[in-house]
Amino acid sequence: MDRILHVLTGPTAVGKTEWALRWAEAHGAEIVSCDSLLFYRGMDIGTAKPTPAERARVPHHLIDILDLGETWDVARFVAAARAACEEIHARGRRVLVTGGSGFYLKAFFAPVADEVAVPGELRLEVAARLAREGQPALVDDLRRLNPQGLGSLDVHNPRRVVRALERCLASQRTLADLAAAFACQPAPFTGWQAQLARLDRPRAELDARIDGRVQAMLAGGLVDEVRRLVAAGIEGNPRAVRAIGYRETIAWLHGQLRKDELAPAIAKDTRALVRKQLTWFRTQLPPHPVLAAGSLTLEALFLEPRGPAAQR
C-alpha cells in the first residue's frame, strides 16, 4: 500500500468529525487527531471531542493521551503522529488526519520545529527573569547574543521573545544560525504523500452551526465539565485554560460574566477563531481543494484538484 496521508481540515463547526468518520469507515482508515485540545483527558464537551460511540466506529489516535498537568509541544506531536501513522500503515490500513489546529496541521507538509532541546530549568530561569526584570531585559540579552540583529522577531511579543532567548541560550547559536539550520531540515513526513482537502460552508451557515454548537455544549453539561476541570487544575495549564468555551465559562464561574452573556461570548470567540483558521489555511498550507461540506460526496473528498476554482 502506498504511504499516503489523507488530511481533512476546515474551520471549527464545519462538520469535519462526521465526514471523517464516514470516509474512514468507507475506506478502511484510522483517524489521527490534529486538534491540540483533544489530547487532554476530561476536555470533552467544550472541544466537541468525538464521543465514545463515534470512536467505536473508527479507531482514533492522539485523543485522551495527556493529563491537564502535562505539557505538550509540536515536536512531541510530530513524534507521536509519525509513530501512529507508521503503525496504521503497518496494519494495512489507510491514514486519515483530521483537525483544525493550524500549527500542528502544517507539520504534515513542512518543518515546524527545530531540534533545539530547551532544558526545563532554563525555561524556569527565563520565565523568572521575565517576571523579575521585564521583557526589555530579555530583548537586551537577545541583542547581545545576536550582534547581527534579530531578523523578523517580534520584540513586542513576550512569548516569542522568551522562546527566542531560550533557544539561543540552549544552543549557544544565533537566531540567524538557527534559522539557516531550520531551512535545511527535511519535512517531518518525508516519504509520505500528503493529500489535503478542506471543508467549508457559507459564512451565515457556519455562524448558525456555531450558535447551535454552543447551545448544545451548554445543554450537554459544559458548565459542570468546567467545574470539574477547575478542581482538577485546568487553571495551571496556560494552553487549556485559554481554550474557547473554557475561558468564558471560567470567567462566568468567577463572576466576570453574567449567565446571559456566556453563550454569546463563546460564540463570538469561536467566530474570531474561525477567521484566524481561514487565514492560516490560505497562507500556511499548500494549495488544496476547498469543498462545500453541505453538498459533498465521499467520492469527491480526496479527488485531485480540477483547476483554479477548486483551490484555496
pLDDT one-digit tens code per residue, 288-303: 999 999 999 998 998 7
- Residue 33 has phi, psi (to 5 degrees) of -75, 135
Please give the mean pLDDT across all residues of the chain: 92
Q: Which residue has the higher pLDDT, 74 or 15?
A: 15
Predicted pLDDT of residue 308: 43
- 17/181 Cα distance (integer angstroms): 37
Phi/psi class of residue 191: alpha, beta or left (left: φ > 0; alpha: ψ in -120 to 50)?
left
Decide if pLDDT at 310 tops 50: no
Tell me which of 3.90.400.10, 1.10.3720.10, 3.30.200.20, 3.40.50.300 is the CATH number of domain 4-112+187-310.
Answer: 3.40.50.300
Decide if pLDDT at 75 tops 90: no
Residue type, 188: P
Strand order in the sheet with 94-98: 60-61, 29-33, 94-98, 4-9, 193-200, 290-292
Tell me which of 1.10.3470, 1.10.287, 3.30.70, 1.10.20 is the CATH number of domain 120-183.
Answer: 1.10.20
Find, among 43, 50, 83, 45, the residue nearest to 67 by Cα. Answer: 43
Domain boundaries, the chain: 4-112+187-310, 120-183
Predicted pLDDT of residue 307: 43
Predicted pLDDT of residue 71: 80
Of all residues in the chain, what percent carry a pLDDT higher than 70?
Answer: 97
Q: Give Cα separations from 47 to 31, 138, 275 (angstroms).
A: 17, 35, 18
- 210/215 Cα distance (integer angstroms): 9
Mean predicted confidence (pLDDT) in 49-55: 96
